Amino acid sequence: MSRVYNFSAGPAVLPEEVLKEAADEMLDYRGTGMSVMEMSHRSKAFAGIIQEAEADLRELMHIPDNYKVLFLQGGASQQFAMIPMNLMKNRVADYIVTGQWAKKAYQEAQKYGKVNKIASSEDKTFSYIPDCSDLPVSPDADYVYICENNTIYGTKFKTLPNTKGKTLVADVSSCFLSEPVDVTKYGLIYGGVQKNIGPAGVVIAIIREDLITDDVLPGTPTMLKYKTHADAGSLYNTPPAYGIYICGKVFKWLKVQGGLEAMKERNEKKAALLYDFLDQSSLFKGTVRKEDRSLMNVPFVTGDEKLDAKFVEEAKKAGLENLKGHRTVGGMRASIYNAMPYEGVQALVDFMAQFEKENL
C-alpha cells in the first residue's frame, strides 16, 4: 500500500486511523454481522452511532443546549436555498461576499427576497476580507450571511462581522473543527463535511432553537425545513448513514488529538511552515493579504502559468497530489486540513525549495 500526501480541497484527506478502523469494521460492525452500510437507520446499532456522533460533536464545539445539531444532505449548496426559505421572515437578508461560495449563496437567496450585498472583496479577486466592523446592516434583515473560510481564495474571517444584533449565519465548510469557535455568536453554523470531517454526502447544521419554526416561506418542501429534521433527530428519512458513521469516528479522533484547541495549534504550525516558505521564496508567492490568510487553504503562484503546470505535474510524481488551484483561478492551492500531517506540509515545502532551485 502506498498513500500519497493529498492536498485536495475536498473531498479531502481523512485520518488514517479512521480509515483503518472503518476497514476493520467493514464486514462486521461490532458483532452485528453486517456493515454499517447495510444496517437499518432505525436499528439500535445505528441509533448508538448517530447519538454518539452528536454527543462528541457537542463536546468538541461546546455546543449549548439551545442549539440543535442536524445531519442533512444536499451538500452545502442546498443550504444556499434552505437558509432563506427557513429564516427570511421579513424577506430581507444581508450578505458579505468574499468568494465564489458566498456569491452563489447570495445569488440563490435573491430568489426569495430582498438581498443586500453589504460588503465584498470582489474588487481584488477576493484576496482579502473586508473590514466588517461597521457595515450598513439592514434594520429589517433576517440575518447576516458569511462564508467564514473561502476555500478557493484562501481567506478566513479572523474576527466575525459586527452584525449589529442580527443573526449571523456562517458557511464553515472548509474550516469546520479546525479551531475552537464560540457557537453562541451564530444563529446557524453549517458546512459540508467532505473537507475536514468525513465523506461527501453529509452536511452538518448547528442551529439555535428559536430559528427552527414552522413559519417558513410558502411552498418550502418538507425536506427543506429545518424543523422536519430537528423534530425527527435527523431521522425523518434515511440519513447518509455511512457518512455519519465516519464523521463520528473523526470526532473521536479529534478528541484523542486533544480537541479543537490542540487542532488550532497544529494547524497554525502547519500553515506557518508553508506561509513562511512562501514569504521568503523568490519563485512562489501567496496570493492573499497576510492578515486574512486561511489556515486550511493556501493558494500560491509562480507568476508563470507554464511553470505552475510543471510544478503540479512534478509534485504529483513526487507523491504530492491535488495541488492544482481551483479551475476558476489557476495557480496552485494546498489544502492542509486537520488530517494533513505536519510531515506532509514539510514534504511539500522541501519539494518547493528543490523546484525553486531547479527552475529559477
The answer to whether the beta carbons of residues 224 and 73 sit under 8 Å apart is no
82 class by beta-carbon count within 10 Å (0-12 exposed, 13-18 middle, 19+ buried):
buried
Size of interface with ligand PMP, in residues (CB under 6 A): 11
155 is in an annotated binding site: no
253 is in an annotated binding site: no
3 is in an annotated binding site: no
76 binds ligand PMP (CB under 6 A): yes
Pick 142 or 171: Cβ nearer ligand PMP = 171
71 binds ligand PMP (CB under 6 A): no
Sheet bearing 67-72, strands edge to edge = 67-72, 203-208, 188-192, 168-171, 144-147, 92-97, 114-120
Task: Name the segment binding ligand PMP (CB under 6 A); options: 74-82, 117-125, 178-186, 259-267.
Answer: 74-82
171 is catalytic: yes
101 is catalytic: yes
Cα four-point dihedral sign 10, 120, 159, 165:
negative
What is the separation of C-alpha 148 from the centre of its chain, rounded to a whole number of angstroms? 9
127 is in an annotated binding site: no
**74: helix, strand or coil:** coil
13 binds ligand PMP (CB under 6 A): no
163 binds ligand PMP (CB under 6 A): no
266 is in an annotated binding site: no
Closest residue to ligand PMP using C-beta atoms = 75
DSSP 243-304: HHHHHHHHHHHHHHHTHHHHHHHHHHHHHHHHHHHHHH-SS-EE-S-GGGB-SSEEEEE-S-
Selected binder of ligand PMP within 108, 142, 171, 292 (CB under 6 A): 171
Selected binder of ligand PMP within 167, 174, 228, 294 (CB under 6 A): 174
Pick 229 or 252: Cβ nearer ligand PMP = 229
Task: Name the segment binding ligand PMP (CB under 6 A); options: 61-69, 137-145, 153-161, 170-178.
Answer: 170-178
276 is catalytic: no
10 binds ligand PMP (CB under 6 A): yes
192 binds ligand PMP (CB under 6 A): yes
What is the nearest approach in angstroms of ligand PMP to the Cβ of residue 48? Answer: 27
230 is in an annotated binding site: no
Choosing from 101, 156, 166, 308, the catalytic residue is 101
Choosing from 166, 195, 252, 324, the catalytic residue is 195
196 binds ligand PMP (CB under 6 A): no
Give the phi and the psi of residue 37 in degrees, each rounded to 5. -65, -20
73 binds ligand PMP (CB under 6 A): no
Selected binder of ligand PMP within 49, 147, 315, 348 (CB under 6 A): 147
List the grid coordinates of 233.
Answer: 433527530
- Residue 17 CA to residue 262 CA, distance in Å, equals 18
Residues 6+ apart with CB under 8 A from 70: 204, 205, 206, 207, 226, 229, 230, 234
Task: Name the segment binding ligand PMP (CB under 6 A); options: 129-137, 166-174, 215-223, 300-308.
Answer: 166-174
The answer to whether the beta carbons of residues 295 and 175 sit under 8 Å apart is yes
What is the nearest approach in angstroms of ligand PMP to the Cβ of residue 307? Answer: 26
Which one, of 100, 154, 175, 158, lies nearest residue 334 by Cα? 154
331 binds ligand PMP (CB under 6 A): no
Question: What x-and-dash track marks residues 276-315 binding ligand PMP by CB under 6 A?
Answer: ----------------------------------------
Q: What is the dihedral of CA 163, 190, 153, 249, to 10 degrees?
A: 140
Cα four-point dihedral sign 88, 93, 99, 104:
positive
171 is in an annotated binding site: yes
Kindly state the DSSP code that residue 325 receives in the 8-state scheme: P
Which one, of 96, 246, 116, lies nearest residue 160 by Cα? 96
Q: Which residues are catalytic?
A: 101, 171, 195
Could you list the residues that contact ligand PMP (CB under 6 A)? 10, 75-77, 101, 147, 151, 171, 173-174, 192
Q: Which residues are annotated as a binding site?
A: 42, 76-77, 101, 151, 171, 194, 237-238
